[in-house]
Amino acid sequence: MPGALRRMTEVSRPRTVGPITVGHGINEFFSIVIPPIIPLLIADLGVTYGQAGFLLTVFFVMYSLFQLPAGLVADRIGKNRLMLAGLVGMTGGIVIAGMATTYGALAIAQVVAGIAGSTFHPTGLSIISDIETADTEGKAMGVFGVGGTLGTMAAPLAVGGLAAVSGWRIALLGAALLGGSATLLVAYFLVSFDVDVTPSIRSDGGRIAATEWVRGVRATATELATRDIGLLCLITLVMSLQHRAIQTFTTSYVAAETGATVSVSNLAFFALLVGGSVASLWGGDLADRLNRYYLGIGAALATAVLVGASLLVAHATAGLPFVLLIAALVAWFVVIGAAMYAVYPVKNALVSERAEEAHSGSLFGVVQTGSALGSAIGPAVFGVLATRWGIIAAFPAIAGVGVVLAALFGVLLASE
């Protein structure tokens, strides 16, 4: 096992990949602080599942609108500078959420956090794409993905656990303190390791000339206007739609199915991410050794089957004692997480194949715009379905999105 782990994490530039991976954890931690407290928001503010899901939609709409501008700016002023500024901005957004007394104030906080968070993926992913070799980019994307899953795993533990004891507002303020402190560490290590922050295009002693900016944007648009990039954007949108819907409503699904408390139900959310963290490393390693298209198809279909079968599993375990029922569902969500997260490093490696350093921030900005759109759509759509049908009936409907995702990987393969 140690040998396999070493092989899966053997990247070319660990001193750069490491801090950026931690930054990914912070970004995902902040992105997912709302789902663990949804049942508490419903009880405290009197909102519906649809309204709670809309808070995630607000966040990811902002995330979506500013991804491409963030990528363009990153290519010109320095990727690390923008990445760190975004993490600081997200911290401020979560502080606002922790001080909120109304649903409207929470929505405003999500706007702030979403705009700030939009900077991370175009910067972090493009830096890794720029520095890693073709033989290790899949592994590096897998390591990067683990940072994200660990950050997401921390949300149900830190936010959900603290909320159960001190309320959701204190939990959000605690999350801001934790994430802000980690951001300072990331900044320290990036400076200590002297990671390059030189923009790809500079003029006038470091200032950006307006005419050069326009030329750069036009050149970038020409480079990125291809069928493959369009397909990768659509794949990313559908993938994120499915994954954010699963993440958002896992806790609520288990609570409704079992009658467990929020803290206990968050164990399933945590289990989903445990499976995801293992699969991210494994998927990244396989992406450097096997056909990436077939890996994407397989992971998408496996996720569809497993999520679709969740209702059958719940019925099959209904007669078990409470502890065994929770254990069975936790184990099931580990497997779902392994299937759904295996596709992340595969997709990112496919994007990295097409990335050139001068436009890598813009390319990942374009692709991650699809991610943000999917993330905005998923929680809202399935929140409405949960409001109408009930969370138990709505949750397996997410499986249909996985079939569409597998088909899109097949279309991309056919275009090669």
* Tens-place pLDDT, residues 1-29: 466 666 666 777 778 888 899 999 999 89
The residue ranking higher by pLDDT, 383 or 212, is 383
Asked whether residue 256 carries a pLDDT value surpassing 70, the answer given is: yes
Asked whether residue 279 carries a pLDDT value surpassing 50, the answer given is: yes
**Section 318-335 average pLDDT:** 82
pLDDT category at 205 given cuts 50, 70, 90 is very low
Q: What is the pLDDT of residue 5?
A: 60
**Section 52-65 average pLDDT:** 82
Do the Cβ atoms of 179 and 94 come closer than 8 Å? yes
**Section 17-42 average pLDDT:** 87
Asked whether residue 91 carries a pLDDT value surpassing 50, the answer given is: yes
Q: What is the pLDDT of residue 356?
A: 62
CB atoms within 10 A of CB 216: 21
Count the residues in the chain: 416
Q: How far apart are CA 369 and CA 121, in angstroms?
A: 10
Q: What is the pLDDT of residue 7?
A: 60
pTM over 0.75: no
Burial 20-33 (b: 16+ CB within 10 A, else e): bbbbbbbbbbbbbb
**Section 26-51 average pLDDT:** 84
pLDDT category at 112 given cuts 50, 70, 90 is very high
Q: What is the pLDDT of residue 350?
A: 83
Asked whether residue 89 carries a pLDDT value surpassing 90, the answer given is: yes
**Section 73-86 average pLDDT:** 81
Asked whether residue 226 carries a pLDDT value surpassing 80, the answer given is: no
- Which residues in 167-291 belong to E strands, given as ranges? none
pLDDT category at 199 given cuts 50, 70, 90 is very low
**Section 373-377 average pLDDT:** 79
Please give the mean pLDDT across all residues of the chain.
Answer: 79
Domain boundaries, the chain: 12-414
**Section 136-146 average pLDDT:** 81
**How is domain 12-414 classified at the CATH fold level?**
Growth Hormone; Chain: A; (1.20.1250)
Q: What is the largest CA-CA distance in the chain?
A: 72
Q: What is the pLDDT of residue 190?
A: 77
CA 237 to chain centre: 12
Do the Cβ atoms of 112 and 93 come closer than 8 Å? yes
Q: How far apart are CA 120 and CA 388, in angstroms?
A: 35
Q: What is the pLDDT of residue 201?
A: 43
Asked whether residue 61 carries a pLDDT value surpassing 60, the answer given is: yes
Best CA proximity match to 359, nearest among 108, 179, 122, 145 = 122
**Section 290-308 average pLDDT:** 88
Terminus-to-terminus CA distance in the chain, angstroms?
Answer: 35
pLDDT category at 67 given cuts 50, 70, 90 is confident
Helix (H, G, I), strand (E, B) or coil at 398: helix
Asked whether residue 213 carries a pLDDT value surpassing 70, the answer given is: no
pLDDT category at 202 given cuts 50, 70, 90 is very low
Q: What is the pLDDT of residue 43?
A: 83
Q: What is the pLDDT of residue 225?
A: 54
Best CA proximity match to 344, nearest among 30, 21, 84 = 21
Reading the block at residue 406, the tokens are 């597998």
Reading the block at residue 402, the tokens are 């996985």
Reading the block at residue 40, the tokens are 């508490």
Reading the block at residue 17, the tokens are 């990949």
At which residue do the structure tokens 């609108």 appear? Answer: 65
